[in-house]
Amino acid sequence: MTVSARLSVARWGLWTVACLPAAAAGAERKSVDATGFIDLRRGDCGIQRAIDSVGDGGGVVVLPKGRFPLRRYLYLRSGVTLRGHRRRTVLTLGPPEQRRAVSAAVEKGSRRIAVEGGLDGLKGGMIVHVWRCGARTHGAHLRALDVSAVEGRTIVLKTPCPYPLRPADRPHVSWGKTTRLKAHAAKGARTIRVQHPDILPPGSALKLKGKGDLWDYHFNVVAASAGEVLTLDRPLTVDGKAGTLVYQAHCAITADGEKGIGVADLRIEGWADDRRPPWGGFRLAAIHTVRCRGITIRGVDIERWPGDGVSIQAGSRAVVADSSAARCRGHGFHPGTGFRGAEFTALRSVQNTGDGLYYCWHNVGVNVRGCVLRANAGHGIGGLGNPGDRDNVVEGNTIESNGLAGVEVNGGKVSRNVIRGNTIRNNSASSPGRWPGVLLRAAVEDARAVTVEANVIESTLAEPTQWVGVWEQCGSYRGKPTVADQNTIRHNTFRGHRKADVIVVGPRTTVECPGAKVIRQPAAD
């Protein structure tokens, strides 16, 4: 870690105090032992009742040691911190959906899919998700299709399969956690009608899309059911059309519009199966906050969650420290949607299917320091410079062996983003030579005013994967050209790059790296 990064550590504690609610800074906080609330028969294992018991003054809910299988999210109230006993307190995701591998080739337009293994629980009228490929299937290769009948180990579809399925691509089908709205669900309503209510028993969480809320997205909990009618815990915030897919899916911990919340010293586990479910992403991260102010996440280890690990969106003031995200089916850590003022420090983000950390749009003062971002399928750090990203610092991290670039910058007109004092090595692991250690790319807008300084950027493998240290590239967005220029690349140490240490296209980009192999080329190249 660089000297400047070590000096930054002294400020993290002060930042954490600033993120706590007023009651924590000036008075003894209430402590609630959750042991007496625990009931493993409930969708929340009784933990939500412990959180709600804290009251308006705020406090700490202490979870006992043990494993707690969740069929719904835990919702943090303002002023509440949820704390466990680090790896001896484990929140787990409830039973996975049913999955079966496709056993024989299926032609496009066919209505019959043969699978390996039984189809217990699947019947006509239900929904299957048909996955064209294996573990990391893109959404374009996923379809929700209605089942007409089940004949032994063969699924008969109501509509034709939209693409061919080849066993060599590891196609599969999944079912058991998705139904449809049977009637229009109006914003503000407390009840919905669904085709298969047994998929959403009382105490379970649901997710659906519709117009009317941020990202056209809504989550809720089923409070009661009567036939096809489900009574919800709170009013709908979206309008859902008849036929809309409704998923039994949820975060482990979430909050919306709360202040001074925290999660500390516990473990969160998803499913062991590496194949993605038909939901996920940042909105169903293991920890997902929206429009919250004053967030502290410390000592939390997340593994194999079917979405992002930690997602903090549209809020301000956060500390995420001494935590890890490993093998999640999304990004490890994900700040965005206008988040202002955050410290991500002393984190491990490894082997996730997205980026180790992804900067979504309009981040201001969101810093990443002293972290290890290794062997992620995407970028080590991606999205830095997305429209509105500015005054962010990436400092003192180890960023290595990621599938794409070590650090991806994809815009930032007047960004003032700084990449300083990191060790960036052996990236582009998925495609040798394609991705550099640091990519300064004008993708969604111009990429300007980025400083890349005092980093060690190297390739140490006998067969190099990272052929370029820093690569500046122009581009286009929605048919309009975008320019990379006016960046500063200085005092970096380069080693072992096959093609070049630095490639620049901006005539006003400055390079001050003695001994580096620098290529200047026209923007069109």
Sheet with 500-504: strands ordered across: 74-75, 253-256, 287-290, 310-313, 333-336, 357-358, 381-384, 407-409, 438-441, 468-473, 500-504, 518-520
Q: Could you please report the per-residue DSSP string of 110-147?
A: --EEEBSS--TT--TT-EEEEESSSTT--GGGEEEEEE
DSSP secondary structure string for all residues of 185-236: B-TT-SEEEBS-GGGS-TT-EEEEE-BTSGGGEEEEEEEEEETTEEEESS--
Instruction: Give the per-residue SS3 of 460-482.
Output: CCCCCCCCEEEEEECEEECCEEE
Distance CA(48)–CA(116), nearest Å, equals 39
Q: How far is CA 214 from CA 217, 219, 336, 337, 343, in A?
A: 6, 11, 13, 10, 24
* Distance of alpha carbon 285 from alpha carbon 320, whole angstroms: 15
Residue 98, φ and ψ in degrees, nearest 5: -75, 140
204 Cβ neighbours under 8 A, 6+ residues apart: 43, 71, 72, 94, 221, 222, 248
- Give residue 259's pLDDT: 98
Helix (H, G, I), strand (E, B) or coil at 304: coil
Residue whose token pair is 């930032």: 412
Q: How is residue 291 written in tokens? A: 């429009």
- Longest Cα–Cα distance of the chain, Å, equals 74
End-to-end CA distance of the chain: give it in Å, rounded: 36
Q: Can you give the pLDDT at residue 309?
A: 98
Q: CB atoms < 10 A from the CB of 152, how many?
A: 9
Which residue has tokens 């299957």?
Answer: 128
Are 249 and 207 in contact by the 8 Å Cβ rule? The answer is: yes
Q: Give the 3-state secondary structure of residue 417.
A: coil
Q: What digits encode the pLDDT tens for the residues 198-251?
A: 999 999 999 999 998 889 999 999 999 999 999 999 999 999 999 999 999 999
pLDDT-flagged residues of the chain (< 70): 1-28, 135-139, 523-525
**Burial 125-143, CB ≥16 within 10 A → b, else e:** ebbbbbbbbbeebeeebeb
Amino acid making up residue 465: T
What element of type H or E holds 7? helix 3-19
